Structure 1
């Protein structure tokens, strides 16, 4: 078995922008998970709740597409959040086999608490970077998102 795969990938493969973005995302997700844990939430659940809050009536399939995860992953999280009383499923007005997702009062309360945690994380990042770099980073990330959406 060969272990000297020189030339298999570029020497700078782990120094690429996409890897830097991924490392930053992993670090941010770990930090969010750690800080949200006392609330009984994972970062993925916060993301799901904030999407339902911003667009009430989303279906599980719509959420899966929006979050770029499998419908099964969404269904699993929705079931957990529903069991905790944070989400409720309601019949879709036009499609009888489709259910819409809505926050409950408890869901709005946990989202408010979780968002305060995320705001604090963002504040700490902005404090570390400073206002100019924070603004630049946001603009650059928006440009990256636009660039990868372009045909």
Structure 2
């Protein structure tokens, strides 16, 4: 087999080639006291990517999309109490129209049902059906198995607390950004 790669022109074959350019440093240098935070943040981002992939594949295998599965998990976390469409829409950050389509889609697949709200006759509550509970259990089992595989029992409570605190910190950030955006929209504009 003949190599057909063109040779680079060299004016003096006795001269050594210049060194290859060095790759830029993408991470935080190890001497940085916060390098462990950079490592943690990178690991978290990779975890988010894997989570999104698992959720997509597991949802697709059941004829759902990731938002469908997120609503199923939200209802599963309600422990049978049910939630209003408004609560679910706020959690999922969906418009009223998108929420109605989502509810209709999952109800048609027999994963959720609408029930009258005993607290407010004008309102309904969303509840999982046995089929929806099974979807939550099946997809949730993927995560349970992964945690069982990598997190020793003695570390699980501590990790759960760290996840809770991280979620609260991210929620505070999200609320501050939302409040700043609302404040910015309300501010008079000068031109």
TM-score of the two chains, using structure 2 as the length reference:
0.54
Compare the two structures and name the one with the higher helix fraction.
1
Deviates more, 1:109-118 or 1:124-133: 124-133
Show the counterpart of 1:4: none
- Conservation of the 8 A alpha-carbon contact between 1:126 and 1:134: no
Instruction: In structure 1, list runs of 5 or more residues that go unmatched.
Output: 1-10
Distance in 2, matches of 1:110 and 1:62, equals 18
Show the counterpart of 2:144: 122
Match of 1:84 among 106, 109, 112: 109
- Conservation of the 8 A alpha-carbon contact between 2:89 and 2:96: yes
Cα-to-partner distance string for 1:84-141 (whole Å, 9 max, x where unaligned): 12222233345454222223xxx32342244133223331244135445655433321
Show the counterpart of 1:73: 98
Q: Does 1:51 find its partner at 2:85?
A: no
Larger radius of gyration: 2
Which structure carries more relative contact order (alpha carbon 8 Å, separation 6+)? 1
Instruction: In structure 2, list runs of 5 or more residues that go unmatched.
Output: 1-26, 29-37, 177-191
Matched positions, count: 136
Distance in 1, matches of 2:165 and 2:119, equals 38
